[in-house]
Amino acid sequence: MKLEKARKAIDRIDEQIVDLLNQRAALAVEISHQKRKSNLPVFAPDRESKLFQRLKQLGKDGPLPQQALLAIYREVISASIALQAVQKIAFFGPEGTFTHQAALEQFGSSADYLPVRGIADVFREVERGRADYGVVPIENSTEGVVNHTLDMFPDTQVKICAEISLRVSQNLLSHERSTASVKKVYTHPQPLGQCRTWLDGNLPEVEIIEVSSTAQAAQLAAKHKRTAAIASRLAGKLNSLTLLARDIEDQPDNRTRFLVLGRHLSGPTGKDKTSIMLGIKDSVGALHRILKPFAGFNISLTSIESRPSRKGVWNYIFFIDCLGHVSDPKIKKVLTALKPLTSNLQVLGSYPRGGE
């Protein structure tokens, strides 16, 4: 096919795509009217999860990379939701953090983003209705769980309505032209733990300065000479920093899991996760007793963490993630079996599994 003929064919396809996108947008507006009548939330994680699964199947044999297809549709969905109501998303900021990046990946560019100073502030903004949803980190594959996020759940009514699994790429960013000119590195403790081997091998003599976030690290590196930051490429772009070294994390598949907080539970998709919080007293066999029902009903656990309850010495709160939705019969049976064994049993959320 000659170049001009191919371009004209693309023009015709573009006309069709624009027309179909407008038809899709009109249907999204109609759906919003029906949701208002039924008092349903605009954001439907279960519906989105099923849609993305379907898109993966539709595009699996085409030349367009799967991630590119999903990224395009993320923006299509984001724009469609904005036609219904612009969603306000609070996230653990400032702009340029990996939490900001995760929020963009989940909600797209048509949402309204609200960076807040701390994890507790994200919970408060959602609980008080000043934000529709919030995004907070919960776990890193290298450094483990984020205790501050867990500690917020006993004192809040917000629900987990989705999770995001983000490939975390740490980068050395600076105004300097080479690593030889760098004398100080700004970093948050989490990425510092993820990049220790690289730093020891490439910058053994530099001074490490810990700061409150990767975004702040990038901001400081932008202000001071002979310094660098460990941060995301998004933070580098926002602060006009040069990429001195990319992917400096010690583990090649370094991922962070984020939670999307809201005021509603998500519907089932068939590929779900349920998060449970429960209290038990320190006694012989206590942990065995609460785990036994999961084994008895063949429920797989993906995570179990404990935190002091702060309501008595040697009393603990356990956070358990298991596969399945709270509406599944087997999960219902597990919860029934757990009630007499625990105090403060609470379902924090049932939601589509991230990365599925």
Residues marked active site are found at 256, 258
Structure tokens at 304: 């179990």
C-alpha 43/C-alpha 262 separation (Å) is 10
C-alpha 213/C-alpha 117 separation (Å) is 10
R_g (Cα) of the chain, nearest Å: 23
Burial class (CB in 10 A: 0-12, 13-18, 19+), 37: exposed
SS3 per residue for the chain: CCHHHHHHHHHHHHHHHHHHHHHHHHHHHHHHHHHHHHCCCCCCHHHHHHHHHHHHHHHCCCCCCHHHHHHHHHHHHHHHHHHHCCCEEEEECCCCCHHHHHHHHHHCCCCEEEEECCHHHHHHHHHCCCCCEEEEEEEECCCEECHHHHHHHHHCCCEEEEEEEEECCCEEEECCCCHHHCCEEEECHHHHHHCHHHHHHHCCCCEEEECCCHHHHHHHHHHCCCEEEEECHHHHHHCCCEEEECCCCCCCCCEEEEEEEECCCCCCCCCEEEEEEEEEECCCCHHHHHHHHHHHCCCCEEEEEEEECCCCCCEEEEEEEEECCCCCHHHHHHHHHHHHHCEEEEEEEEEECCCC
> 221, 247 in Cβ contact below 8 A?
no
